[in-house]
Amino acid sequence: MNVRAWIDNRVAADRRGFVVPAVIFALAIMAMIAMVALRTVDDEKRSSRAVRESAGALYAADGGLQKTLGNWPSASAKALNAGDSLNLGWQTQTNGSSYRAVIQRVDNGGTQTYAVVVYGRGAGPLGGQAAVVEVVAQGVGTAGIFTRAVFSQGLLTLGGSGSISDSYDHRNGPYNAATANQNGDLFSNGSITLNNGGTIVKGDVAAVGTITGTSGVTGTITPGAAPLPPYPVLSCPAGGYTPASYIPIGGPNGAKSYDPVLGKLIIGSGNNLVLSSPPPGGQYYFNYVDAGGGSITFNTGGHVDMVIDDKLTVGSGGMVNPAADPTLVSVSSCGSPVKPSTWSITGGAGSYFTIYAPNHDVVVGGGGDLWGAVIGAAVSATGGSHFHYDEALGNPTPSTSLTTVAGAWAQFPQ
């Protein structure tokens, strides 16, 4: 073999020795690239799944928030003190996700305000988690002006043997004398005179002046109390008295007469006026109502106001509310006559209504029953009349309406 051939053989051998490691190295690099690519794909899948799970958790939390607000636990939330919280526990939804709502009261009194924090979990194996928070204010209902059985700006007198003032709540059933409640409170910015030994007051009695005849009072007795602000006299409705078309005349369900110009309504002996077609707004407005010999029946199916700017006379059982719900019928005075006349009312079956007459003396007589409440310039009960205060007038069912606080919604994590 010559030298040239020997050199060529050595070069070829060296080349073969270099190629094999190069190929192996290249294969290793390719394997690493493949593994990195596979890991990247897997990470992307996990990342996508995590994003999906996080979105599912957010949807679970937000859906839980809506369900919590839609099924607001009014009574439990109302019972919370400022800073207290209510944990409603974990709830599982139909798609397998779950949420837990926590309600915390954040106001310092007054309008009830709550921070509602809802934690959500996705349905997948990665268990994504999220939370949302919303701040809401809950309405508490309108307490109204009738917070006791009787308020009198001047002298309050319960005379006659057998006079009673007690309470009940029509939302819990009809009045039952045997189980009557103890909130038949009386208050006077003047003095109070009770028939000692013949009057029972299941409730508190308070007066700015003196109180006499208190042997039948079951609650606290407070003479010399701080005065309450006088109740305002209402303005009379604009537009004149109720049109004649709403007041039937004659027949079994009509009045004896009605003058829509003067606003004078006379029921007449034996007549029963049925008010079944209320005017716009459900408000009747008269100058003078005399139902001493007949009766008025409020058969309207909703709340009705009767507003009177002068005189009211109602005989025994002369004003009837078939619904037996005192919150549905109110009889109010308006205007400020120079010499306001006395309102005379005799209770009886069906007498479920409120009397608001801060510029009229109110006399409740005949020993009948009146379910509701009375506010008057001076109030007296004769003949052993009975006041049955409906607690629904001053303690309404808590409102379930919620108002969201603008800008208070937030998501965690962001």
Closest CA to 295 of 342, 331, 346: 346
For the residues 1-23, what does the mean pLDDT come to?
A: 59
pLDDT bin (cut points 50, 70, 90) of residue 396 is low
pLDDT at position 141 is 41
Contact 135, 116 (CB under 8 A): yes
Q: Quick count: other Cβ atoms within 10 Å of Cβ 253?
A: 14
pTM value is: 0.64
What is the DSSP track for 103-132?
EEE--SSSSEEEEEEEEEE-SSTT--EEEE
d(CA 311, CA 130): 66
Strand order across the beta sheet in which 319-320 lies: 272-275, 295-298, 319-320
pLDDT at position 383 is 82
Residue 14 has pLDDT above 60, yes or no: no
pLDDT 10s digits, 62-95? 888 878 877 878 778 877 887 888 899 988 887 7
For the residues 222-241, what does the mean pLDDT come to?
A: 90
Q: Which two tokens stand for residue 135?
A: 């701040």
Residue 140 has pLDDT above 50, yes or no: no
Residue 398 has pLDDT above 50, yes or no: no
Look at residue 316 and give its three-state secondary structure. Answer: coil
pLDDT at position 95 is 77
For the residues 142-161, what does the mean pLDDT come to?
A: 86
pLDDT bin (cut points 50, 70, 90) of residue 356 is very high
Q: Which residue has the higher pLDDT, 242 or 24?
A: 242
Residue 361 has pLDDT above 90, yes or no: yes
Look at residue 262 and give its three-state secondary structure. Answer: coil
126-130, 199-203, 286-290: segment of lowest average pLDDT: 126-130
pLDDT at position 363 is 93
pLDDT at position 51 is 57
d(CA 226, CA 203): 18
What is the DSSP track for 175-230?
--GGG-BS---EEESS-EEE-TTTEEE-S-EEESS-EE--TTB-S-EETTPPPPPP
